[in-house]
């Protein structure tokens, strides 16, 4: 069983830092490459760039909670919730694409 995890290409868990602007404020986020890939997939499914997706998620969580103490952790959890949703939605279902931004409503 562990071979599934330990045989992963190290590039997946190598971290990468990206700087982006959220409403004019430069923000730096450090995530593992695999999470950046998942964010790219989510953004593409919703017709957005990764920066647009992160801005939208940031806006929505701030509106809901009033604060976001750890953006990187929030994005990791969002990616996992997206993957969980993909796992639960039957393959080929039209509801699997285009509705990913509302991650807070999953589960």
Give the CATH number, domain containing residue 78. Answer: 1.10.3990.20
pLDDT score of 10: 84
**CA 69 – CA 74 distance, rounded (Å):** 9
Name the DSSP letter for residue 69.
S
Question: What confidence score (pLDDT) does residue 96 get?
Answer: 42
CA angle 35, 81, 72 (to 5 degrees): 45
Could you list the residue range(s) of the whole structural domain that residue 89 is in? 9-105
The pLDDT assigned to 107 comes to: 40
The number of distinct structural domains making up the chain is 1
Question: Would 4 be classed as within a structural domain?
Answer: no
The interaxial angle of helices 71-88 and 50-65, nearest 10 deg, is 100
Domain membership of residue 46 (yes or no) is yes
The answer to whether 40 touches 50, Cβ cutoff 8 Å, is yes
Q: Does residue 2 lie within any of the structural domains?
A: no
What's the Cα-to-Cα distance from 47 to each of 53, 82, 96, 107, rounded to whole Å?
A: 9, 16, 14, 23
Report the pLDDT value the prediction gives residue 89, as an integer from 0 to 100. Answer: 82
pTM of the model: 0.79
pLDDT of residue 93: 57
Indicate whether 99 belongs to any domain.
Answer: yes
Long-range contacts of 75-80 (CB under 8 A, 24+ apart): 75/29, 75/31, 75/35, 75/39, 76/31, 76/35, 78/42, 78/103, 79/35, 79/38, 79/39, 79/42
Residue 1 lies in a domain: no
In a domain, 3, yes or no: no
Low-confidence ranges of the chain (pLDDT < 70): 91-107
């Amino acid at each position: 069983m562990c071979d599934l995890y330990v045989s992963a290409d190290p590039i997946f868990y190598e971290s990468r830092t990206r700087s982006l602007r959220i409403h004019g404020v430069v923000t730096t986020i450090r995530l593992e490459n695999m999470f950046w890939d998942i964010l790219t997939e989510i953004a593409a499914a919703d017709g957005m760039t990764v920066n647009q997706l992160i801005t939208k998620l940031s806006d929505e969580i701030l509106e809901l909670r009033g604060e976001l103490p750890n953006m990187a952790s929030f994005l990791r959890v969002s990616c996992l919730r997206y993957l969980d949703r993909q796992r639960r939605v039957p393959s080929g279902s039209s509801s699997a694409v285009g509705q990913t931004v509302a991650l807070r409503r999953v589960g």
